[in-house]
Amino acid sequence: MLDWVKDALHAQETGGLSWHASAWMAKNRWETTQRSINAFLMGQSMTQSELILIGGSAGWMMPTSWLAKFKKIRIIDIDPLASIFFNMNHGKGLKNAGTSWKFERRDGLRELTLLIKESPNAFIWFDNVLGQQCFKLKDEDLVQRQLKHIKMVLKNHHWGSIHDWLSGPIDLAAPASLHPIVFKDTSNTVSFASAEPAAHAQENILVLNNKSMDFDTGTQLLLNAVNASGQWQDHLSAEVFPSSQPCELIPWFFKPNYCHLLLASFMKPVDS
């Protein structure tokens, strides 16, 4: 019972009522990011009829139109209250589309192997959950090992993820100058010099593709565009995807002065 209440309140520091309240209050500010996520998800053709949505919560950042592409959805989340808000956000649209959905209060990472055994043909989507494992597990090595391992466990499946990669303060009054970004390899944080503010920074989506753009350059450009400054947090999720995988990097202005960079990509079975 105590675990139930704790997970309802803050889901082991990854969500819960505090997440629902933030999402509810930030609806307008998050709209640009939601549109980017929408375009990214809808741009991918889906052949699977079942979806396993890990960390789905209330689907605050998720378009109903994408969810409605599936006939059946299993929402895996440790937050016992998430289903109430999910039904509020997506219930009507999914019913109209003839999609059925079911909530399961389970740990989607600990039980990943079991979940794919239960639904071997499902598409698996990690919905802004992998970048939160550093708060839940509080063990850097364990988090990195666990996140790195996902691509091995899912190597024969269609899957994907959108997750926090980096997050930190933005300086709204920063001088217009470009400075190199200094990565501190060994710590859990990244430091930035002041960066150039960009007009329409919130409109920026950067597609990182090995062929056309060097990863560090692309990241730096986006960080400059969002005016990153001070200490940034590494969410330890850089190795979720193989290094050769093209990813989309989406800025998310979580608070007026605090930005997250979300990494997103779709993965195919290795032998396809």
Ligand X SMILES: C[S@@+](CC[C@H](N)C(=O)[O-])C[C@H]1O[C@@H](n2cnc3c(N)ncnc32)[C@H](O)[C@@H]1O
Q: Does residue 54 touch ligand X according to CB under 6 A?
A: yes
Candidates 9-17, 174-182, 209-217, 264-272: pick the segment binding ligand X (CB under 6 A): 9-17
Does 63 help bind ligand X (rule: CB under 6 A)?
no
User: Which residues, at least 6 apart from 170, have a Cβ–Cβ distance to it below 8 Å?
Assistant: 226, 227, 228, 229, 253, 257, 258, 259
# residues near ligand X by CB under 6 A: 27
Q: How far is the CB of 82 from ligand X (least distance, A)?
A: 5
Residue closer to ligand X (CB basis): 91 or 175: 91
Task: Please report how close the Cβ of residue 86 comes to ligand X at its closest, in angstroms.
Answer: 8
The distance of closest approach from Cβ of residue 205 to ligand X in the complex, given in angstroms and rounded to an integer, is 18
Q: Does 234 bind ligand X (CB under 6 A)?
A: no
Query: In DSSP terms, which residues pair with 73 in a beta bridge?
Result: 51, 101
Our finding on whether 78 is near ligand X (CB under 6 A) is yes
Q: Segment 123-162, which members bind ligand X (CB under 6 A)? A: 127-129, 132, 136
Residue 62, interface with ligand X (CB under 6 A)?
yes
Residue with smallest beta-carbon separation from ligand X: 15
Determine which residue in the list 51, 73, 75, 76 makes contact with ligand X, applying CB under 6 A.
Answer: 76
Asked if 260 contacts 169 with a C-beta cutoff of 8 angstroms, the reply is no
Span near ligand X by CB under 6 A; candidates 56-64, 142-150, 181-189, 192-200 = 56-64
For ligand X, which is the closer residue by CB, 60 or 192? 60
The correct pick among 41, 63, 75, 79 for binding ligand X (CB under 6 A) is: 79
Where on the chain is the footprint of ligand X (CB under 6 A)?
11, 14-15, 19, 23, 54-62, 76-79, 82, 107-109, 127-129, 132, 136
